[in-house]
Amino acid sequence: MKTTFVKSKDAARTWYVADVSGKVLGRAASKIAMMLMGKNKATYTPTNDTGDFVVAINTDKMVLTGKKLDQKIDYTHSGYPEGSRYTPYRIMMQKKSDEVLKLAVKGMLPKSILGHQMLKKLKTFKGDKHDYVGTAVKEVKF
């Protein structure tokens, strides 16, 4: 019996809407990363992008446990001397909570071109309104 591998262009893609209000950031990010990689399907192929599209709404209502709001810091560097920027997650959750979820999911995806392709299938929104109403979307419960 031969093993069949699904190619990226032949993969059946589904759009999912994930409401992350009241959910813990890490747990929601891990579920979303699994759907982006396609590990929730029987046709999962590690070398090809067979995952689904995920629309995450209400990212401003996510929860961080413990003292992570004050102690966890996002570090970025511009590439110039003294170009370091440190931002606590309390400020990030107020200003750009959708980027917080993207950073968490990005850390759980493969560190390659394949991971970048998978991350492009994640759409995040602060409120409950999104631009992907016309597509055939399914609600995700987690």
pLDDT for res 140: 82
Residue 101 in domain = yes
**Residues 107-139: b if buried by 16+ CB within 10 A, e if exposed:** ebbbeeebbebbeebbbbbeeeeeeeeeeebee
Residue 83 in domain = no
CA–CA separation, 63 and 115 (whole Å) = 25
**Predicted TM-score of the model (pTM):** 0.91
pLDDT for res 136: 66
Which 3 state secondary structure label does DSSP give 33?
Answer: helix
Position of tokens 């597509």? 135
Per-residue confidence of the chain (142 residues) as pLDDT tens digits?
788 788 888 888 899 999 999 999 999 999 999 999 999 988 888 899 999 999 999 999 999 999 999 999 999 999 999 999 999 999 999 999 999 999 999 999 999 999 999 999 999 999 988 888 766 678 887 7
Residue 59 in domain = yes
Q: Which two tokens stand for residue 112?
A: 């390659």
Residue 74 in domain = no
Residue numbers of the domain that contains 105: 13-64+96-140
The domain tally of the chain equals 1
What CATH number has the domain bearing residue 124? 3.90.1180.10
**16, 34 contact by CB (below 8 A):** no
Residue 88 in domain = no
Residue 86 in domain = no
Q: Which two tokens stand for residue 14?
A: 């589904």
Residue 76 in domain = no
Residue 90 in domain = no
